[in-house]
Amino acid sequence: MNRHSKVFYLFLLFCFFGIYRALAQYNIDSLKKVIVAPKIHDTTKLTSIKLLLDNVYDNADFDRYNALMGKIAYKNSLQNTSLKKKYLKYLGNYYSNVSVRQEEEGNPKSMLFIDKAIKTYKEALADNEHHAALISKGLIYYRKKEYKKAISNFYAALKYFDQHKKGNEDNLWYIYLNLGVVYSEQGYNKQAVGFHKKAIFYINQKPQPLSVEDELQKCTMYLNEGFCNLTLNQYDEAARNLNASLLLSRKHKDNSLMGLALGRLGMIEMKKNNYDEAQKLLEEAEVLSENDFSKGLTLTNLGEVYFKKKNYKKAETTLNNGLLIAKTIGNIDLIERIYQILYQVTKESGQYQKSLSMLELFHQYKDSSKVMENRSTLKEQQLKFAFEKRELKYKLENERKNFRKNVLLVGLLFLIVLIIVGTYFLYKNYKQKQAINQLEKNELKQKLLLTQMNPHFIFNSIDNIQSLIYNKQDKDAINYLGKFSKLTRQILEHSTENYITLEEEITLIENYLSIQQLLYNNKFDFQISVDETIEPEAILLPPMLIQPFVENAIKHGLKGKASQGKINISFEKRKGLLYVEIIDNGEGFREEKQLGTKKSLAMKITKERLGVLLKNENVVVHHVNIIGENNKIMGAKVYFEIPYIYEN
């Protein structure tokens, strides 16, 4: 690959880095309010900071909020809680972000921070994040021109994501795009074309419709593949890919990418000696070029077209304009090429003295730009590996021949001991992994159950609002809607959590009961009591665990009461367990309810969640009637026990 082609490829890669950053639209002011709110849980703050970082473009703001994320994550990661893995992930994100910023500033410490990120992700057992960080590490090596190490990291990440394709389409096309760039830069354009095709394939495999950013990334892929085709003299393939890139860039009005596509199409026409068409395309590309490199490269190609058309005066003027830009940005490869064409222009136009000067400058820059070529990097890596393998085999064979009988015996004994010890530790490790996997499965199941229950609750509430509107209770409907909005916000904040504090659960239940009082014209009162030995702010339980039982008491227990209904909820500590009791003074349980023949969806889901929490699918939730004088039913009681879990 010639030098100006290599520089163009680097330019495409850095353009791609700029596009790759996520551009999800969130209300930045709202996120900032969540971050500074004193009562917001740290996990919610970290989620908000991460979203904010994706939408902040000022480097000072980015560094400040990233530092805050690192501080919160590091503090919490030191505590051995159920959320430790989540905090470690955020800490890994912090290190990864610092690495990117250090790399942007040319700071060699970027490698140190990406290694910290990888180590932290490993500790958190975050395989996806760990291997995504390997891609970043490969890019750092690439920029340092340590191609072997870069490729090694890319392939290590590819090996993992290729086995976990679903949901990792972005990581796969990102790896293949970078492999295409590295292979092409070393002259392996045929292999690079295959990598770019795979990058396009995986971006098309994304389950959701492609966003604007996705399509611009796809535009860059077509541009890269087209450039490889052009280098291989595959003009028809090159034109097909470059026109596909041009179509997408015009769709999204990206002048920079449009200019690059038109410039490459102009080079195809120049290669085919269609100089008029080449001139037309390159002149359009010059107008669209939005950065110095693109404009300088386009002027160089345009100058060469004028030279081919024997318009020497215009060629010289255009090339000198390109030379001025190339010197401004310090691009030695581009300067070298311009002097080479200027030498030919001045020679053909009879300016022999000037031609000699151009030739001397060409050689001067050619000598100063010489660097060690890396075309055979991949083959050298494979040869070195094979040589080291043969050398090790030869060494082991010699050592075996020289072993004495007693040394061999000691070695065998040592090997037996090693196998026994190794087997023991492998068994222990296997059991630990089984336990961890079971815990993760339980947490996942609990989250899935909660996602089922949230829509159930929300749809019921919407039905209630609809009923108020139909009954022309507009003021009550507005009041209900305001309280419902507040309650919904609480539910959504807790929906990503495995556990919340008892204090947060009580607040949610109080809001829910207040809404129900409004809906049922205050036909009931409620009381929530917590035993003095319990610390509500330090006890954990799954979110929205109590609400379905309260809902059941209101809808069914107090169904026949027009007024003076009562609901009492109490929390006590009994024998190391948290005892929960819900009592109402309604009509009690009918026989079919006690037998469990009629169960609401929310009650069924809640019992399953309790089963996950207690690692027992047959959890007993007790339902009993409260009997008064003459065996009269005075109400109903529901009670159950769950583990007593401290936050720390």
pLDDT one-digit tens code per residue, 51-76: 888 777 788 888 888 899 999 999 99
User: Are residues 508 and 529 both part of a single domain?
Assistant: yes
Residue 478 within a domain: yes
Instruction: Please report which confidence band the pLDDT of residue 329 belongs to, taking 50, 70 and 90 as the band edges.
Output: confident
Beta pairing partners, 572: 579
**165-169 contacts, C-beta under 8 A, 24 or more apart:** 165/205, 168/128, 169/202, 169/203, 169/205, 169/206, 169/207
Q: Which DSSP state fits 557?
A: I
User: Are residues 400 and 448 both part of a single domain?
Assistant: no
User: Are residues 383 and 364 both part of a single domain?
Assistant: no
For every residue of 269-322, DSSP letters joined together read HHHTT-HHHHHHHHHHHHHH--SHHHHHHHHHHHHHHHHHTT-HHHHHHHHHHH
User: Are residues 457 and 312 both part of a single domain?
Assistant: no
The residue-averaged pLDDT of 491-516 equals 84
* 336-350, 470-484, 589-603, 605-619: least confidently modelled range: 589-603
645, amino acid identity:
I
Per-residue pLDDT at 419 exceeds 80: yes
User: Are residues 450 and 579 both part of a single domain?
Assistant: yes
CB-based contact 513:574 (threshold 8 Å): no
**Best CA proximity match to 54, nearest among 80, 24, 90:** 24
User: Are residues 417 and 444 both part of a single domain?
Assistant: no
pLDDT digits (tens, 9 = 90+) for 124-138: 999 999 999 999 999
What are the two backbone dihedrals, phi and then psi, of residue 530, each rounded to the nearest 5 degrees? -125, 130
Q: Where are the alpha helices (DSSP H) in 105-211?
A: 110-123, 127-143, 147-163, 169-185, 189-204
Per-residue pLDDT at 5 exceeds 70: no
Bigger pLDDT: 369 vs 77: 77
> pLDDT over 90 for what percent of the chain?
28
CA distance 317 to 299: 10
Residue 322 within a domain: yes
Domain boundary among 328, 348, 369: 369
User: Could you list the residue range(s) of the whole structural domain that residue 365 is in?
Assistant: 291-369
Task: Provide the CATH number for the domain around residue 460.
Answer: 3.30.565.10
- Record the tokens describing residue 32, joined without a space: 């900032």
- Record the tokens describing residue 623, joined without a space: 């339902």
Instruction: Please report which confidence band the pLDDT of residue 519 belongs to, taking 50, 70 and 90 as the band edges.
Output: confident
- List of residues 6+ apart from 465 with CB closer than 8 A: 477, 480, 481, 484
Question: Which residue is it, tokens 């009670």?
Answer: 639
- Please report, to the nearest 10 degrees, the dihedral formed by the alpha carbons of residues 400, 404, 410, 412 taken in order: 40
Residue 621 within a domain: yes
Residue 597 within a domain: yes
The residue-averaged pLDDT of 608-613 equals 67
Per-residue pLDDT at 438 exceeds 80: no
Q: In whole angstroms, what separates CA 17 from the centre of its chain? A: 15
Q: Where are the alpha helices (DSSP H) in 369-404?
A: 377-402
> What per-residue confidence (pLDDT) applies to 135?
92
User: Are residues 312 and 385 both part of a single domain?
Assistant: no
Instruction: Please report which confidence band the pLDDT of residue 500 belongs to, taking 50, 70 and 90 as the band edges.
Output: confident
Residue 32 within a domain: no
- Could you give the C-alpha distances from 298 to 199, 230, 282, 290, 304, in angstroms and in order? 27, 16, 6, 11, 10
Instruction: Please report which confidence band the pLDDT of residue 386 belongs to, taking 50, 70 and 90 as the band edges.
Output: very low
599, amino acid identity:
K
**Cβ-based burial of 172 (10 A; exposed 0-12, middle 13-18, buried ≥19):** buried
Instruction: Please report which confidence band the pLDDT of residue 435 belongs to, taking 50, 70 and 90 as the band edges.
Output: low
Residue 101's H or E segment, with its range, is helix 84-104
Q: At what angle do helices 59-77 and 42-53 cross, to 10 degrees?
A: 150
**Best CA proximity match to 493, nearest among 39, 85, 52, 86:** 39
The residue-averaged pLDDT of 606-624 equals 69
Residue 531 within a domain: yes
Q: In whole angstroms, what separates CA 412 from the centre of its chain? A: 49
The residue-averaged pLDDT of 414-443 equals 69
Task: Provide the CATH number for the domain around residue 302.
Answer: 1.25.40.10
The residue-averaged pLDDT of 438-453 equals 51
**Cβ-based burial of 485 (10 A; exposed 0-12, middle 13-18, buried ≥19):** exposed
- Record the tokens describing residue 362, joined without a space: 């060409």
**Best CA proximity match to 284, nearest among 246, 322, 315, 244:** 246
CA distance 8 to 4: 6
Per-residue pLDDT at 449 exceeds 50: no
> What per-residue confidence (pLDDT) applies to 148?
85
What are the two backbone dihedrals, phi and then psi, of residue 633, each rounded to the nearest 5 degrees? -75, 120
- List of residues 6+ apart from 603 with CB closer than 8 A: 548, 549, 552
Per-residue pLDDT at 543 exceeds 70: yes
User: Are residues 445 and 584 both part of a single domain?
Assistant: yes
* Mean pLDDT over the full length of the chain: 80
Instruction: Please report which confidence band the pLDDT of residue 24 belongs to, taking 50, 70 and 90 as the band edges.
Output: very low
Q: How many domains does the chain have?
A: 3
Residue 59 within a domain: no
User: Are residues 482 and 618 both part of a single domain?
Assistant: yes
The 10 Å Cβ neighbour count of residue 98 is 22
CB-based contact 278:270 (threshold 8 Å): yes
CB-based contact 73:90 (threshold 8 Å): yes
CB-based contact 147:182 (threshold 8 Å): yes
- List of residues 6+ apart from 551 with CB closer than 8 A: 457, 460, 512, 516, 600, 602
Residue 100 within a domain: no
User: Are residues 401 and 533 both part of a single domain?
Assistant: no
Domain boundary among 393, 423, 453: 423
- Could you give the C-alpha distances from 625 to 473, 551, 632, in angstroms and in order? 35, 17, 10
Per-residue pLDDT at 593 exceeds 50: no
User: Are residues 579 and 534 both part of a single domain?
Assistant: yes
User: Are residues 361 and 394 both part of a single domain?
Assistant: no
Bigger pLDDT: 309 vs 386: 309
Per-residue pLDDT at 594 exceeds 70: no
- Record the tokens describing residue 435, joined without a space: 């336990």
Residue 581's H or E segment, with its range, is strand 577-584
Per-residue pLDDT at 196 exceeds 90: yes
